[in-house]
Amino acid sequence: MSGFWVMLRREMAMAWGRGGGPLLALTFFVATATLLPLAVGASPARLAAVAPGSAWLALALASLLSLERLFERDYEDGTLDLLALGPVPLEAVAFAKGLAQWLTNGAPLALAAPVVAVALGAELRLVPLIFISALIGGLGLAFTGGIGAALSLGSKRGGVLIAVLVLPLFAPPVIFGAGAIEAFAGGLDWHPALGLLSAYGLAAAALGPFAMAAACRNALS
């Protein structure tokens, strides 16, 4: 068990520096969100209507950024071989990586999401729900993204391939996360969507490590 905590501390330290860390993801998030008013026109009414949903979309895209390096560094310098043979099960290592990805990338993005949404015109009363749905959704995004990252180890295409593999699997969190906010904004019951979002995140966190470990073992064989 202590091995797992060591792994988690290591992963969090690596995640702060990997792929530019959360700062790069945040910048990408803001930059993508900036394109939205340029694309649909700056009329406040129209922007406000799509603000929560498009903030969620930009969040999903920004979550993709540091995924490529999730396993890559360990794979390239041979650490992944040692981890596969070591006392900590590879599934636990994968779980630590996904958790670190969520805490170091997903949490800052979740903090930025309400700011971006309000900047795009969302009402202030939506802010708590936007933060919570982004935080919970980030769990599903981190682990599903981790599956894509593990599957594309040793492939020729890396980043774009991960996006192709993972974006269809991002559909449920985006649907439920943005749906919860839309429901709240419209005065409807937002609990079901948030519940389904949490269910997806927890299922991804529980089952994702097995897929990630299987994919890593395949790449190492």
Partner 1 sequence: MFQALANPQRFMDFSRWAAPLVGIIAVILIAIGLWLTFTVPEDYQQGDTVRMMFIHVPAAYMAMFCYACLGGASFMGLVFRHSLADAAGRACAPLGAGFTFLALVTGSLWGRPMWGTWWVWDARMTSVLVLFLLYIGYMALQAAIDDEVKAARAASILALVGLINLPIIKFSVDWWNTLHQPASVFRAGGPTMPPAYLWPLAIMAIGYMALFGSLWMVRVRSEVWRKRANGLALQAAG
Any alpha helices (H) in the chain, and if so which ranges? 2-17, 21-40, 44-63, 69-77, 79-85, 90-101, 107-119, 127-151, 159-185, 191-220
Candidates 58-66, 76-84, 126-134, 207-215; binding stretch for partner 1 (CB under 8 A): 207-215
Binding string, residues 122-161; x marks residues near partner 1 by CB under 8 A: -------------------------x---xx-xxxx---x
Query: Measured from the CB atom, is 132 or 163 closer to partner 1?
Result: 163
Least Å from the CB of residue 22 to partner 1: 26
Integer Cα distance of 46 and 40 in angstroms: 8
Angle (CA) 171-174-179 rounded to 5° is: 125
Is residue 6 close enough to count as binding partner 1 by CB under 8 A?
Answer: no
In the region spanning residues 19 to 78, those forming contacts with partner 1, defined by CB under 8 A, are: none
Q: How far is CA 151 from the centre of its chain?
A: 16
Least Å from the CB of residue 154 to partner 1: 6
Integer Cα distance of 218 and 221 in angstroms: 5
Angle (CA) 169-61-32 rounded to 5° is: 155
Query: Measured from the CB atom, is 30 or 220 closer to partner 1?
Result: 220
Q: Which of 99, 135, 141 is nearest to 114 (CA)?
A: 135
Least Å from the CB of residue 171 to partner 1: 5
Binds partner 1 by CB under 8 A, chosen from 24, 49, 111, 214:
214
The three-state secondary structure class of 44 is: helix
Contact status, residue 180 vs residue 51, Cβ threshold 8 Å: no
Least Å from the CB of residue 196 to partner 1: 10
Query: Measured from the CB atom, is 157 or 191 closer to partner 1?
Result: 157
Binding string, residues 159-198; x marks residues near partner 1 by CB under 8 A: --x--xx-xxx-xx--x-----------------------
Query: Measured from the CB atom, is 82 or 171 closer to partner 1?
Result: 171
Paired tokens of 182? 């839309």
Paired tokens of 137? 């959704």
Q: Name the residues that contact partner 1, by CB under 8 A.
A: 147, 151-152, 154-157, 161, 164-165, 167-169, 171-172, 175, 211, 214-215, 218-219, 221
